[in-house]
Structure 1
Amino acid sequence: MPPRAPPAPGPRPPPRAAAVDAVDAGGAGGPGLRPLAPRPWRWLLLLALPAACSAPPPPPRPVYTNHWAVQVLGGPAAADRVAAAHGYLNLGQIGNLENYYHFYHSKTFKRSTLSSRGPHTFLRMDPQVKWLQQQEVKRRVKRQVRGDPQALYFNDPIWSNMWYMDSYASYDVNGNDYDPSPRYDASNENKHGTRCAGEVAASANNSYCIVGIAYNAKIGGIRMLDGDVTDVVEAKSLGIRPNYIDIYSASWGPDDDGKTVDGPGRLAKQAFEYGIKKGRQGLGSIFVWASGNGGREGDHCSCDGYTNSIYTISVSSTTENGYKPWYLEECASTLATTYSSGAFYERKIVTTDLRQRCTDGHTGTSVSAPMVAGIIALALEANSQLTWRDVQHLLVKTSRPAHLKANDWKVNGAGHKVSHLYGFGLVDAEALVTEAKKWTAVPSQHMCVATTDKRPRSIPVVQMLRTTALTTACADHSDQRVGYLEHVVARISISHPRRGDLQIHLISPSGTKSQLLAKRLLDHSNEGFTNWEFMTVHCWGEKAEGEWTLEIQDMPSQVRNPEKQ
């Protein structure tokens, strides 16, 4: 996945640990806790809409590796026996996912466009094997500026370990060891994690470089982008010591090319769920994510299943003067914003760099995510009992529109001002910490599912297809009744000859309109969407009951022959 810095432009006591992508290297209120407001629960809206136009062809061939994820019941000893019986090496449990193991087969091609057969068929037939998956290579990029003209070149390979002051919070998933130090080369390709880490936790009063936002925090690094990225690699990275690490800051994701639709696989999804349910002794791991740098390519971050997840805090960027950066993507899942780079006359971000250096050229949404991670660390320093959902509520309450310039600012039904560019606004560190000190944990999370008529229907070209769902917010089920909204998810399936022509909006009973998808001129795919989960935070705090409206438009950017659809 790409790191989240843009491509190069034209003209408790202190929290125990935070982890960043080092090569780039959420929740339940406890018993007896009073709610801050009446029952702040999340509603899940599932809208299944198969819009039939044409059957999508099979996707491009994947690249398979010689690594497998295998579900084996009976514990590590049973997994070892199964692996040995079929000629595999068991590399151990995948993160904290019980009964899931990482198998390696030395006699299989390291990379191939064909999935493997032979002994792997017998592995699938083994009665102790409940599920297995040959691992495919995923395209992941760092969200930094590509071709950064500020990159320094030095030929003295001094290994900088400054940002790994707490080795227990670090791991090299690519090399399978405990040293996440970046691999050095002439281009300083792996500067990304060091720069992000410096923003968070650079030491204070050491007469060197900068002061980190949470300079009392301990920080480690997870090296996971310097090799083939698979579902196993991501699951391991997202689940490193969840009862020791409080905050995971990720400045990477699927390609921000304006045509990719991708997100976490089965194992990575389970790692997210494990983190928010069991991480931080049940308070929930906090995942902070850079929203993406595909603005120049007309990308939309709702097509990124990491920033679009209810479990992540999706962070966007603004320039020092409050303008939209040229690389910024818009979507309804963005929660908040911090500063980053902009036009050539606007300043970039200063931080630590490779080879014991400093830089004033850090850029992209890669910058903004660790800033928020550092500010959240300050909030946990003030109140270590905040749940993963408390943190999101605090960001919604204390972030402010300030001087941020956007044409789509609106006030939702609960009185929150929100934008598709900036979420609820600029993160205010002082307000967040002050509020955290007196915060009362929100009650347990409830989910309510509303379904629409699942009969296939066609989307008229240029016209609007509307479908509605009427819900009582599960009022008949007191254990799941939704008092007011946090995240709203619309699960949608659409078949379409050119996915980039689609626009999707969701309108809440209070009248708040969220853009779930905008046109993407570079997305020529005919794969459509299959149970894709679009998420919006724009209805935060509103009542859930009433009529919801989903609007889908097909706005062709080129002439299509209806008879061939």
Structure 2
Amino acid sequence: MTWGIGGGGPRDQQQMGWAVRVSQGYQEVDRLARKFGFVNFGQIFPDGQYFHLRHRGVVQQSLTPHWGHRLRLKKDPKVQWFQQQTLQRRVKRSLVVPTDPWFSKQWYMNNEMQSDLNILQVWSQGLSGQGVVVSVLDDGIEKDHPDLWANYDPLASYDFNDYDPDPQPRYTPSDENRHGTRCAGEVAAMANNRFCGAGVAYNTRIGGVRMLDGTITDVMEAQSLSLQPQHIHIYSASWGPEDDGRTVDGPGILTREAFRRGVTKVSGYKAWAGPPADRKRKWPLGRCGG
């Protein structure tokens, strides 16, 4: 058995509940919750072995590990593994476009006269995303957007920031939560509707997972990558740790387990990561909104 104790991260990492693995599912984890005063926030993966617990008497965001709870979980023979959750730093990623004044004349890198992706030839073969379901894991998507509503798939959507089925972004004066909608539009914006542009796979069914607008933990990333695995074909995640040259970070234990399960237990599982993070470039909204 492996235990979630020992060496930890930096002392200033905030603690956010517990991930626990038990062998007997809901009945056993409910017993643990009653015994130790936890609140069961449900399973992390569909098989009912990993669960998300929080303690009634512990501030959600604490700067110190709770050694008493660790010791109790370690001593319980039914607990196979546990880990106290810490907040993860994740940065939204976008395409990086040089701002050099002559960049537009460098036709071999910025070819606006032809389809660099050869997409017109692909469309001419009848390939437009029909029958494919994509879920964008990000800060939410505008499900009623004029270019997305007809392709929106509620079964490929969820809000893990507020734990409800609606992935609608949280609107702010700075309009910071538009990244997911834009990523969804690049994939599945409708074609021939006299609005804005077209997605590269304009007949794809598109969903959104709101999980990047607030605190982020290993549990949340794993749950997002495990949503409806028999329904969703592609998970799109255009975000990651800081690209500052000094940050070394990657998927946590549960997120790696989500990838493993997707590869070994789900037919056709694919996760796509976007380009490097760009926090400085400001993109105009234009006529498309979102």
TM-score by length of 2: 0.73
2:227 counterpart residue number: 240
2:206 aligned residue (204, 219, 232): 219
2:185 aligned with 1:255, yes or no? no
Greater helix share, 1 or 2?
2
1:299 counterpart residue number: none
Q: Per-residue deviation at 1:62?
A: 4.3
The structure with the larger Rg is: 1
AA aligned to 1:137 is L
Report how many aligned residue pairs link the two structures: 235
2:20 aligned with 1:70, yes or no? yes
After superposition, residues 6-45 of structure 1 pair within 5 angstroms as: none
AA aligned to 1:358 is C
2:272 counterpart residue number: 288
2:187 aligned with 1:204, yes or no? no
2:75 aligned with 1:125, yes or no? yes
Pair 62,188 (structure 1): closer, same or farther in 2 beyond 3 Å: same
Q: Per-residue deviation at 1:121?
A: 2.4
2:129 counterpart residue number: none
Distance 1:225 1:134 in 2: 20
Q: Per-residue deviation at 1:98?
A: 4.4
Distance 2:71 2:47 in 1: 24
After superposition, residues 103-182 of structure 1 pair within 5 angstroms as: 103-144=53-94, 161-162=144-145, 163=148, 165-182=152-169
Greater strand share, 1 or 2?
1
Pair 246,145 (structure 1): closer, same or farther in 2 beyond 3 Å: closer
Q: Per-residue deviation at 1:59?
A: 5.9
2:288 counterpart residue number: 358
Distance 1:60 1:115 in 2: 11
AA aligned to 1:173 is F
Q: Per-residue deviation at 1:110?
A: 1.7
Q: Percent identity?
A: 47
Distance 1:288 1:136 in 2: 24
Pair 210,275 (structure 1): closer, same or farther in 2 beyond 3 Å: same
1:47 counterpart residue number: none
Contact 1:97–1:270 (Cα < 8 Å) also in 2: no
Gaps of 5+ in 1: 1-57, 147-158, 297-326, 328-340, 363-565
After superposition, residues 293-304 of structure 1 pair within 5 angstroms as: 293=277
After superposition, the C-alpha distances for 1:36-72 in whole angstroms (9 at most, x for unaligned) are xxxxxxxxxxxxxxxxxxxxxx963242334100011
Distance 1:178 1:59 in 2: 32
Secondary structure in structure 2 of the residue aligned to 1:111? coil
After superposition, the C-alpha distances for 1:202-253 in whole angstroms (9 at most, x for unaligned) are 1122221111111111100011111111110110011111110001111100
Alignment RMSD:
2.8
Distance 2:69 2:259 in 1: 32
Distance 1:145 1:271 in 2: 26
1:80 aligned residue (1, 9, 30): 30
Contact 1:202–1:211 (Cα < 8 Å) also in 2: yes
1:183 aligned residue (161, 165, 170): 170
